[in-house]
Structures are given as C-alpha cells and as structure tokens.
Amino acid sequence: MTTATPAVPRTPDDVPGWFWKVDQDLFSWFLSRQSAAGVSGDLLELGTYLGRSAILLGQYLQEGETFTVCDLFDSEAPDESNSAEMAMSYRKTLTRAAFETNYLTFHPRLPEIVQAPTSALADGRIPAGSCRFVHIDASHLYEHVAGDIRVAREALAPDGLVVLDDYRSPHTPGVAAAVWEAVADLGLRPVCLTPEKFYGTWGDAEAAKEVLLSRDWQSEGFRTSEDLIAGSTVHRLAWDAPAPTRRPVSHPTARRLAHDLLPPIAFRALRRTLKGGV
Ligand SMILES: C[S@@+](CC[C@H](N)C(=O)[O-])C[C@H]1O[C@@H](n2cnc3c(N)ncnc32)[C@H](O)[C@@H]1O
C-alpha cells in the first residue's frame, strides 16, 4: 500500500514509468500521421501503470474517438505468477487514484478505464475493428501476452498498428515468445523495432514503413538500421542520450587550485618544477 502522496507531475516525463524518447517520438509520429491522413479510430492501452504512455496517447485523441485503458491498478491479479510480478514491480507505487491524478494534470477528461485483468477485454467490449492504435504493455507472462495479442487483432482496424513492449528484454522471455509466435502463426507483420518495443500491423506493413521513412530520423540524431526477417525489411531505431559534456580541467584552474590548497612553500616548489618543463 502507498502511504505518501506522490508529487503532481509538471511534465509527462515526470510521471514514473517505462516510456522513452524513441518510442515517444514514434507514437507521436504514427498517431499524428494517421490523423493527417484522415484516419480515425479508437485508441487502446493494455497496461497503463501511472500513465506515462497513456498521457501521450491521450494527446492524439480526436473528436469522436474513444481512448480505453485497461490495468489492474489496485486490484488482485488473476493468478499467482501475475501476482508475484505485481508485487515485485508495481504494488508499492501504483494506485488508480495516482494514475487519475497524473492523467488529469494533462487532460480535461479521463479515458475509459477498465480496472481488470486484460483478459476481461476478450469479452468483446472493445468493438471489433474499432481501433487505429493498440499499445500492449501489461503482464509479461506468455499466456497473458498471447491473449492480449488476440484482443489487439480483434480490436484493430485493417491497417491499425499494434505496439508491444518488452519483446526482447532478458527478464521477459514470455513476451518474446508470444510476439514472434504471432509473427510466425497469426500473420502479424513487423514494421519497426526499438530497444523496448515492437511495432506491427495485420494490415499493410509496407504503407506503415513508408510513413515511418517519410521522416529523416538519422538527421535528428536517431540511430537507424535495417534487418531482413523472412524476406521482409524491418527498421530498427534507437536514441542514445547525448553524453554529458565535461569541461577539461585547464592549467590555470589546476594552478589556482594548487595555490589555494598547498602550503606556500610546496606551491613555490611545484611552480618551479612546472616551469622546468614537466
Ligand atoms: C510496465 S507497466 C505499464 C507501463 C506504462 N505503459 C508506462 O509507459 O509507464 C505494466 C502495467 O500492467 C499492469 N498489469 C500487469 N498484469 C496485468 C494484467 N493481467 N491485467 C491488467 N493489467 C496488468 C500493471 O498493473 C502495470 O501497471
């Protein structure tokens, strides 16, 4: 249980979570390009935590569209493994109230909230073919993620995008198994990959890649590369935070330091040595 009241965030980046620059930029890019092309559809997030990614998704919600988030928040997990995962990673910090406070700091209205295991979404409450973008970032257990992928497939419009978190982290092999199984057996087509997320579609992957490549990511400092997977090109993108610049210590600074710190006799001896060309 959380006792301290969390601070109200000043920017979405103040909200704790796992949603970094390259994915923030890709979400923004794909969602804004959809809107610019006149594509409308609902948004769905499975696994919301304190709202870091949901807040950005909400920024792209257009008139007439619905944004639904599904998370356990303070509720019990449906099985022991999920319960252990919740206890290890989220229980100390996560409440529905904290999510709502964070979200309402940046948006006038809350999204539709389903406080339940994501398996609850398999009941058809998300209309089939209604979504243009689904973000899956909930349980990391294979059975759950495989179910979440089926929910996304049903919910997505023909060219909608699904994004899957933690598809390659060492501690989430179940996600990797479910993602690549969907590629091999369920017709999911990869569009691009970042260190944290897999982007794919059951629709026209080539069109989605064209949208991706209509921005010059490299000139903005992103690292890009291409891979062939089963004969189809997949783009990889990454962002390396610039290293902090360190000013070299100059001789005058060193000399000033020595002057301030050494006894006068030692300082004069050091100065004689340095003048001697050491
Ligand atoms: C990695 S966090 C989500 C991070 C969030 N998308 C962000 O960008 O910060 C995973 C979330 O999934 C939720 N979760 C875990 N298992 C779940 C399940 N079976 N059904 C619904 N939500 C679940 C947890 O409560 C947690 O909030």
Same domain, 274 and 201: no
Same domain, 214 and 267: no
Instruction: Give the residue, out of 71, 118, 194, with the most ligand 1 atoms within 8 A of its beta carbon, to mutate for a pocket test.
Output: 71
User: Which range of residues forms the domain containing residue 263?
Assistant: 250-278
Same domain, 29 and 120: yes
Mean pLDDT of 112-116: 98
What CA–CA distance (Å, rounded) separates 18 from 4? 21
Query: Which 3 state secondary structure label does DSSP give 277?
Result: coil
Model confidence pLDDT, tens digit, residues 132-186: 999 999 999 999 999 999 999 999 999 999 999 999 999 999 999 999 999 999 9
In a domain, 3, yes or no: no
Specify which residues 186 forms β-bridges with: none
**Pocket lining: 172 vs ligand 1, CB cutoff 6 Å:** no
For residues 223 and 240, the answer to whether their CB atoms sit within 8 Å is: yes
Token pair 């792209």: residue: 60
Closest residue CA from atom 19 of ligand 1: 117
Same domain, 257 and 168: no
Alpha carbon of 96 to ligand 1 centroid (Å): 12
In a domain, 244, yes or no: no
What CA–CA distance (Å, rounded) separates 2 from 278? 60
In a domain, 1, yes or no: no
What CA–CA distance (Å, rounded) separates 54 from 69? 8
Per DSSP, the chain holds a count of helices (H) and strands (E) of 9, 9
Helices 21-36 and 52-59 cross at an angle (nearest 10°) of 20
Query: Which 3 state secondary structure label does DSSP give 193?
Result: strand
For residues 163 and 134, the answer to whether their CB atoms sit within 8 Å is: yes
In a domain, 214, yes or no: yes
Dig out the tokens for 239 from the structure.
């962002």
In a domain, 142, yes or no: yes
**Which atom of ligand 1 has the smallest separation from the CA of 135?**
6
Instruction: Using the predicted structure, report yes or no on whether residue 265 has a pLDDT greater than 70.
Output: no
Q: Which amino acid is located at 62 in the chain? A: Q
In a domain, 205, yes or no: yes
Closest residue CA from atom 22 of ligand 1: 71
In a domain, 102, yes or no: yes
What's the CATH code of the domain at 187? 3.40.50.150
**Which atom of ligand 1 has the smallest separation from the CA of 166?**
1
Residue 247 — very low, low, confident or very high, per pLDDT cuts 50/70/90? low
What CA–CA distance (Å, rounded) separates 38 from 260? 68
Same domain, 138 and 265: no
Same domain, 129 and 260: no
**Pocket lining: 148 vs ligand 1, CB cutoff 6 Å:** no
Same domain, 212 and 261: no
**Pocket lining: 98 vs ligand 1, CB cutoff 6 Å:** no
Model confidence pLDDT, tens digit, residues 173-191: 999 999 999 999 999 999 9
How many distinct structural domains can be found in the chain? 2
Alpha carbon of 232 to ligand 1 centroid (Å): 31
What CA–CA distance (Å, rounded) separates 220 from 127? 38
Task: Give residue 124's region: left, alpha or beta (phi > 0; psi -120 to 50).
Answer: left
What CA–CA distance (Å, rounded) separates 151 from 125? 10
Angle at 46 between CA 23 and CA 88, to 5 degrees: 90
Same domain, 232 and 254: no
In a domain, 186, yes or no: yes
- The continuous run of DSSP H or E covering 109 comes out as none
**Which atom of ligand 1 has the smallest separation from the CA of 82?**
16
Same domain, 206 and 269: no
pLDDT at residue 250, as a whole number:
45
Same domain, 193 and 259: no
**Which atom of ligand 1 has the smallest separation from the CA of 165?**
1
Instruction: Give the residue, out of 48, 50, 194, with the most ligand 1 atoms within 8 A of its beta carbon, to mutate for a pocket test.
Output: 48
What CA–CA distance (Å, rounded) separates 92 from 166? 21
What CA–CA distance (Å, rounded) separates 99 from 97? 5
Same domain, 191 and 272: no
Residue 251 — very low, low, confident or very high, per pLDDT cuts 50/70/90? very low
Same domain, 75 and 38: yes
